[in-house]
Chain A
Amino acid sequence: MLMPPFHLHHPSTIEEACELAAGFIEAKESFDWVAGGTDLLPNYKWHINVKQHVISLARVQGIDTISMHEIGAMARLGSIASSSDVHPLIAQAAGKVASSLIRNNATLGGNICLDTRCFWFNQSEDWRRSIDWCHKEDCGTGSDCRVIPNQNTLCVATYQGDVAPSLMVLEGLLHIIGPNGERQIPVEEFFQLDGITRNVLEEGEFILKVTFPEGVENRVGSYKKLRVRESWDFPEAGVAASWIEGDISSLRIASTALESIPRLHQQEIDKLDGGFSTDKILQLSNAMMKSIKPVNNTALPPRYRKSMVKVLAKRCLQEIIGDAE
């Protein structure tokens, strides 16, 4: 499928990239960033949200670091998965993304910024025309959402990134840069509700890197992914958890692929009677299940995905904490 015309730009430094973006903002010309392209290009081939300009970060130097405490946005998932320098949880999560071929193109930054997905949306232009478009890409028609009909204010497309929950439970900090300078934000605060808004990136901003606090190497973690096939498939549900062995209070657990954003489930831990302890694995898993509300827009039905959160969380926790029962 041929992509619609756009202009591709290749800045070689961060500054140059920001300048390009600033220029387009000023000229009121639309643009996108592209890193590996494995998420953006399929959408472009389907004529979804095509912009006038695309700025490629491929030639920007120095943003592909891979280490325990810092991973650059342009680090490729394949390299992360096979690296012995990164936290094993990140390597595990990265290794579960799509297929080995896709991981060789895909980047960490791209995976974090993954567009939300929905089977009414990730379709060709002809297909979407035949359902008279949808809220997420309404082509100016003001169409309703096709998942939750009769409304066009909320987009419930699902965030199906694999790596984000692992970054959350390892206390990752995102470094964002744009024409207005650099800022930092914890991964769990990066995502913003609504499948269209998706995250806090302002126009012209992009992710530079993610860093982890000292001591992250002491964390033990696990990521469980539910998918139909062991290759290619986006998660239908995913849970990541980590803790510092023996330190109950350090437990962090997050889920993905269930709603428009991945979520850190600190609330569910806090709400447990007397806080989390090793005999409350099932309680916590149940609480997590109850807290999420998947909708019918991926391959598996929402009720099933919701129920599976309990199983995944339980398995995650049992793996890192051990079966206390």
Chain B
Amino acid sequence: MGEEYVKMTPPAAHTIWSAVVNGQMKQAIAPSNAILLDVLRDEVGMLGVKRGCDLGTCGCCAVLIDGEPRLSCLCLAGQVQGQNITTVEGLAEGAHLAPIQTCFATHGGSQCGFCTPGFLMSAEALLTVNKNPSRNEISCAIEGNLCRCTGYQQIIDSIEAAAAIKRGEAPALAPASNPHPNPHPMGPEEPSMPPGHAR
């Protein structure tokens, strides 16, 4: 006779997990059967990786593993031991937002924002290999990501805009965000001068 429920304790033996997360070697002590998503969120502290459905159908947990977008909720941490993992936290270059990040903000690609990290990873992976994607190619790249707010259209707009920046056809937008190294572009110290001339 089987048991009527599957026992959760005692936990599986813990092992040392290590990988390069956003360019930095990270180690964590986690159960040997841990899911990558859990390790990234609970142990490494990358809370930008979101848990939406936990079964692979929302794409909120997508991360780049060796440059390829993968679902961290359907990935055993042990299977990517030692590999290069990029999360949304690793997209910005230092304090400079990646074009894809800025464009999601300026083109309405992000409403509630919960699915945004996953979309950013799928989009970034696409733009790395294809700097001039058609709208259909973009759709195929983000087909594993679910967005309930935007209806996808402004997400595709955002990715197109980012591609244009990557191709050098559009100027990089100045990000107006915290990570910007410049002190406030328009500080409260405001003009005492009218436009053009002083009295």
Contacts and interface: CB of A to CB of B under 8 A. Distances in A.
Given A38-B56, A42-B56, A104-B68, A7 B144 contact: no
Interface stretch (B27-35, B106-114, B187-195): B27-35
A37 B73 CA distance: 10
A101 B1 contact: no
B78 interface: yes
B102 interface: no
Given A6-B33, A47-B6, A101 B76 contact: no
Nearest to B141: A100
A231 B143 contact: yes
A150 to B, nearest CB: 22
B13 A42 contact: no
B79 A58 contact: yes
B71 A105 contact: yes
Contacts of B33: 3, 5-8, 54
Contacts, number: 115
Interface string B73-91: 1111011010000000000
Contacts of A232: 57, 144
A56 interface: yes
A2 B2 CA distance: 21
Contact of B74 (A4, A10, A41, A100): A41
B6 A102 contact: no
Interface stretch (A135-143, A182-190, A257-265): A135-143
A108 B99 CA distance: 35
B71 A101 contact: yes
A72 B81 CA distance: 22
Among B3, B4, B11, B79, residue most surrounded by chain A Cβ atoms (within 10 Å): B79
Contacts of A59: 79
A4 B6 contact: yes
Contacts of B116: none
29 contacts: A1-B54, A4-B8, A5-B7, A7-B32, A8-B33, A8-B78, A38-B74, A41-B35, A41-B73, A41-B74, A42-B55, A47-B5, A47-B6, A78-B68, A100-B69, A101-B56, A101-B59, A101-B62, A102-B71, A104-B68, A104-B69, A104-B70, A125-B5, A129-B4, A138-B2, A140-B2, A140-B3, A141-B2, A141-B4
Pairs of residues from A and B, 3 with the lowest C-beta to C-beta distance, nearest first: A140-B2, A101-B144, A99-B144
Interface of A: 1-8, 10, 34, 36-38, 41-42, 45, 47, 50, 54, 56, 58-59, 78, 98-102, 104-105, 125, 129, 138-141, 230-232
